[in-house]
Amino acid sequence: MREEQENIWDSLTGIYNRKGFYQATQELFDRNPDTKYVIAYWNVQRFKIINELFGREVGDNILIQMAERIKSAYHGVKGQNGIEGTYGRMESDNFAICFPASFLEGDRAFVHSGEITYISEDAEYRFSSCYGLYVVEDRSVGIAAMVDRSRLAMDTVKTNYVRPYAYYNDSMRERVVMEQILMSECEKAIRERQFMVYYQPVCDAVSGRIMSAEALVRWNHPQRGMISPAVFIPLFERNGFVSVLDRYVWESVCQMLRRRLDEGKEVVPVSINVSRVDFYNQQLCENIIRILDKYGLEKRLLRLEVTESSYSDDPQHVLEIVKRLQDHGFTIMMDDFGSGYSSLNTLKDLPVDILKIDMKFMDDLEKGGKSAIILESIVRMAKWMSLKAVAEGVETEEELNFLKSVECNYIQGYYFYRPMPEKEFEEQLNHREELPAGKELMMSGGEGDFAVLYGESMKGENLFQNMLGGLGIYELVGDRMEIVRANRGYCEMLLEPGSIGLMSGRRLISEYMYDEDYQALLERCGEAEKTKTMVDTQLRRRRYDGSTAWLDVRIRFLGNQGNRKLYCFYIMDISRMKQIEMEGYANRYSQALFRNFDKVYRLDYDTGYAEVLHTSEEKMKIGDKVYFRDFFERFDREIISERKEEYRQWMKDKEAVDEALRGSRSRSLTIDYRVDGPKTGCKQVWAVLIKVTTAYEEEGYLLCLKRA
């Protein structure tokens, strides 16, 4: 049989295909029984995107170049013993190479970096690649399995930019085998009732009283013992079984609740986890309602936890379903909040009643990172949006104390309880009454604040001074508002370090504020007086150093003497939160901007630099800076347009640009022009200059270019 007649060549690249590679490698092994070989599996990261962005043709060209690269590196290259290697394309962007292990020694390293450069007619593109290496110890494994193993090794490096390769080890295979086994056993496990529902109480922060609970599934495996959901849920999400399992969990929760109610025992709301996969089920809403009806339970008893990442698959679809569930009266919890992208701002548009703050903030708290500030802001803002907040993963007293100090009222974590079997949980519930009930109400606002404010006792004064965040007492006469007292937190937040408090200098707060914010503040004060409730507002105020702080202010009317009105402001610096929010905004808007333009620069007129924020050209990198006056001068020669002079002004003179922008309702300027470059030829370009303002009142100028 002649080799050529069999299909062993890859038609695109002209090197071996999978079958050819297997054959040739087997022959190589047979010819060299004593040589130690390595099999490498090589793959371009995110190749799909290359195809999408540049088209199949470019994609194909890259594959051809990769094959060329392998060919020139390995073809006819002899190892120490004069032995060559083999190579082939396995499928799409996956290549396998077999070469003597001695190649790995010295400086004949296989591939020095994961970087691949693709040079087309007019540009150079760079992509990263990664590879897995399998050192052939035992030839009886078979070539196909060897290739699989190098591929497994490769799968572990996908996101590692520092080291683009990994060696295979047996634990990688054991893991896959184990995963396969677990996936295949799921049906049997549910029939045999190997899954168990554990409950972890959610407690009131102050009293420790159980307020609700979360149902968490466990797999009590007959051979492997107790398996954590962190292991099997991701697998079941892959094969879809998670939906079956979730329904099982929901049903057992309802059974437990029904039974307790029938026995006349107390129950608390239990939250269940809704997997992202569940949303593919068109009947999800009906299914959940049906289970509740079957057991005759009120909807408030079953809360639904949806992770923020569930929204990322198909935001609109998931949002609609969750909204429907909420409309039906279910309490919706946002699980793992803060772990992903959503900012508090996006939260406004989502149907959510309770936030579960991601555990990662707890890990970070001790290390003194930014977590404390972010946590505090999340809790404050949650309150501001009338959401309850549950902190997850609370393990220590320090963490608890911190959370209490920022008035996070609900705690789930090992500090109070670990997840426990149903029976144990019920025991805890049965004893719930014996705990001091009602205590949890004391801290949460209410009259408590008052006595403190008057500084009547040492204890009160201490509390006033040490309360986290800023407290200030203000007097309003007509429309003049003055600060009369402030605590330490206030001074730290807004005053110059070392200043002797408020007693010197200007106390009229309108002097530190924007007019429109001040007017809004006065209105809110009026509301607080009328409704006798806490009223929230957000405002900007200048700090001693001229910078702008975003403040969240809770206003309480204390009383009046004639025309003098007294208010207490509970002030929180939410600048950081605002910044995060703004970055979120900027990110979203910039995504839109970036989709529509080929290049976006930020022009800094003070330094004369243009910073690349976005570019579709691989030659340029994001963050690159060009001195734009030079740059555009060079470019200027190539522009053909009657409005060239105007465009030139944009580059030179901030004042001229500002002037022109003032005349524009859209706060932007647009010019069409043609460039006629020696290399690029004649092209139509659309240039837009936009002025943007950041949260800190900084101004920025964006120059966006698009080729027609």
- d(Cα 235, Cα 237) in Å, to the nearest integer? 5
Answer for the pair 157, 113: CB distance below 8 angstroms, yes or no: no
Q: Is 627 in the site for ligand C2E (CB under 6 A)?
A: no
Closer Cβ to Ca ion, 217 or 571, answer by number: 217
Residue span binding ligand C2E (CB under 6 A) among the ranges 184-192, 241-249, 310-318, 451-459: 241-249
| Bridge partner residues of 334 (DSSP) | 306, 355
Find the shortest distance in angstroms from Cβ 330 to ligand C2E.
Answer: 16
Among Ca ion, ligand C2E, none, what binds residue 216 when CB lies within 5 to 8 Å by partner kind?
ligand C2E
Closer Cβ to ligand C2E, 160 or 239, answer by number: 239
Between 321 and 360, how does the x/- string for binding to ligand C2E read (CB under 6 A)?
--------------xx------------------------
Among ligand C2E, Ca ion, none, what binds residue 393 when CB lies within 5 to 8 Å by partner kind?
ligand C2E
Binding ligand C2E by CB under 6 A: which of 10, 93, 204, 246?
246
Helix (H) or strand (E) holding 63: helix 56-74
277 Rama class: left (phi>0) / alpha (psi -120 to 50) / beta: alpha
Closer Cβ to ligand C2E, 88 or 229, answer by number: 229
Find the shortest distance in angstroms from Cβ 156 to ligand C2E.
Answer: 22
Find the shortest distance in angstroms from Cβ 286 to Ca ion.
Answer: 23
Q: Is 216 in the site for ligand C2E (CB under 6 A)?
A: yes
| Bridge partner residues of 417 (DSSP) | none
Closer Cβ to ligand C2E, 66 or 202, answer by number: 202
For the chain, the C-alpha Rg in angstroms (whole number) is: 33
Q: Is 228 in the site for ligand C2E (CB under 6 A)?
A: yes
Binding ligand C2E by CB under 6 A: which of 275, 342, 487, 615?
275
E strand map for 296-447: 302-307, 331-337, 354-357, 388-392, 410-412, 420-421
- d(Cα 1, Cα 651) in Å, to the nearest integer? 72
The Cα-based distances of 641 to 458, 663, 664 in angstroms read 76, 22, 21
Among Ca ion, ligand C2E, none, what binds residue 615 when CB lies within 5 to 8 Å by partner kind?
none
3-state secondary structure of 106: coil
Q: What angle do CA 524, 526, 528 make, to 5 degrees?
A: 70
Find the shortest distance in angstroms from Cβ 362 to Ca ion.
Answer: 11
Q: Which of residues 382-401 bind ligand C2E (CB under 6 A)?
A: 392-395
Find the shortest distance in angstroms from Cβ 273 to Ca ion.
Answer: 5
Closer Cβ to Ca ion, 15 or 272, answer by number: 272
How many residues lie near ligand C2E (CB under 6 A)? 22
Binding ligand C2E by CB under 6 A: which of 132, 338, 351, 419?
419
Among ligand C2E, Ca ion, none, what binds residue 275 when CB lies within 5 to 8 Å by partner kind?
ligand C2E
Binding ligand C2E by CB under 6 A: which of 43, 273, 409, 537?
273
Residues that bind Ca ion (CB under 5 A): 273, 305, 335-336
Binding ligand C2E by CB under 6 A: which of 414, 454, 589, 627?
414
Alpha-carbon dihedral sign for residues 78, 79, 84, 90:
negative
Task: Say which residues have a Cβ less than 8 Å from residue 82's Cβ, sequence separation at least 6.
Answer: none
Q: Is 229 in the site for ligand C2E (CB under 6 A)?
A: yes
Answer for the pair 326, 353: CB distance below 8 angstroms, yes or no: yes
- d(Cα 271, Cα 388) in Å, to the nearest integer? 14
- d(Cα 369, Cα 362) in Å, to the nearest integer? 10
Find the shortest distance in angstroms from Cβ 345 to ligand C2E.
Answer: 23
Q: What angle do CA 138, 141, 142 make, to 5 degrees?
A: 120
Q: What is the DSSP string of 137-206?
A: S-GGG-HHHHHHHHHHHHHTTTT-SS--EEE--HHHHHHHHHHHHHHHHHHHHHHTT-EEEEEEEEEETT
Binding site for ligand C2E (CB under 6 A): 200, 216-217, 228-230, 233, 242, 246, 249, 273, 275, 335-336, 392-395, 412-414, 419
